[in-house]
């Protein structure tokens, strides 16, 4: 399958400390790819580089064959490359439904001219955005709290909402940064089920950083192991767990 993300010989240092060191990897379109490694391996830094939140020192990042090196996050958003965060970034004083409705860009209501002179267009677009938001809130299982302020939701519900926000765009790949962190087991099951459905039914590609190895085992194939800023090994979760290099790297440490 074609690579939707192709990271080529990326380097990144902070001062004299190398965090990403000649890192190359590919994320195949239609896959749910896991990215694991010990604390300090460079996973979040690599995520930030791919997502346009952090400049690299050298190397390239390609998105569906296009060189996106150095493009900002807002530009990548419009191309269909999105990310979530370990700590949810909801609009706490808006309802869950309103949080979803905020996502689509270039809405007519954002224009003072359209608001004054094209109210019909504004209403029609708002109705369409609301309809889609209601579909999304049903999909992610938050229908019962759709009118609750997002700041009042549980940690797990906020993670579901964050995933739902990616559905309000034409996402092609979503970078999930420890989306299971702080989520109870029941909601974690819902979260994993939604990720699988988005992948299977809507063709989303995912790149996943996650501490929960059971979650990685259920969702991800392949799994890429990052160590000291570069790829150590790539394979199925069974291959990864039985690789002597991985065992040596992780024995007695918490897998990230």
pLDDT at position 81, please? 95
Architecture of domain 3-90+170-250: 3-Layer(aba) Sandwich (3.40)
- Indicate the SS3 state at residue 168: coil
**How is residue 231 annotated by DSSP?**
E
**How is residue 40 annotated by DSSP?**
T
- Residue with tokens 């004083």, as numbered in its chain: 93
What is the value of pTM for the model shown? 0.86
Q: Going by C-beta distance under 8 Å and a sequence separation of 6 or more, which residues neighbour residue 102? A: 91, 94
- Residue with tokens 């995933």, as numbered in its chain: 163
For residue 212 the two structure tokens come to 């929960």
Q: In the predicted model, what is the mean pLDDT of the chain?
A: 88
Measured distance CA(18)–CA(241) in Å, rounded: 27
Instruction: Give the pLDDT confidence of 19-57 residue by residue, as tens digits.
Output: 999 999 999 999 999 999 888 899 999 999 999 999 999
- Show me where the domains of the chain are located: 3-90+170-250, 92-152
Instruction: Give the pLDDT confidence of 195-226 residue by residue, as tens digits.
Output: 999 999 989 999 999 888 899 999 999 999 99
pLDDT beyond 80 at 251: no
């Amino acid at each position: 399958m074609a690579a939707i993300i192709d990271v080529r010989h990326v380097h990144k240092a902070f001062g004299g400390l190398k965090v990403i060191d000649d890192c190359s990897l590919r994320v195949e379109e239609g896959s749910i790819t896991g990215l694991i490694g010990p604390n300090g391996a460079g996973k979040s830094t690599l995520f930030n580089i791919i997502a346009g939140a952090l400049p690299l020192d050298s190397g390239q990042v390609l998105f569906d064959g296009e060189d996106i090196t150095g493009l900002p996050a807002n530009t990548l958003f419009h191309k269909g490359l999105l990310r979530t965060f370990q700590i949810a970034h909801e609009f706490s004083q808006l309802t869950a439904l309103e949080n979803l409705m905020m996502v689509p860009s270039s809405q007519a209501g954002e224009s003072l001219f359209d608001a004054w002179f094209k109210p019909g267009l504004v209403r029609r677009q708002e109705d369409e955005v609301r309809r889609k938001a209601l579909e999304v809130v049903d999909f992610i299982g938050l229908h019962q709290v759709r009118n609750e302020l997002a700041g009042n939701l549980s940690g797990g519900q906020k993670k579901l909402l964050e995933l739902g926000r990616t559905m309000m765009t034409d996402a092609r790949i979503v970078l999930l940064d420890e989306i299971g962190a702080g989520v109870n087991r029941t909601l974690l099951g819902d979260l994993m089920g939604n990720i699988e459905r988005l992948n299977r039914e809507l063709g989303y590609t995912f790149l996943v950083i996650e501490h929960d190895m059971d979650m990685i085992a259920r969702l991800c194939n392949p799994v890429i192991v990052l160590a000291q800023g570069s790829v150590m090994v790539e394979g199925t979760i069974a291959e990864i767990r039985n690789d002597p290099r991985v065992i040596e790297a992780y024995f007695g440490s918490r897998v990230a």
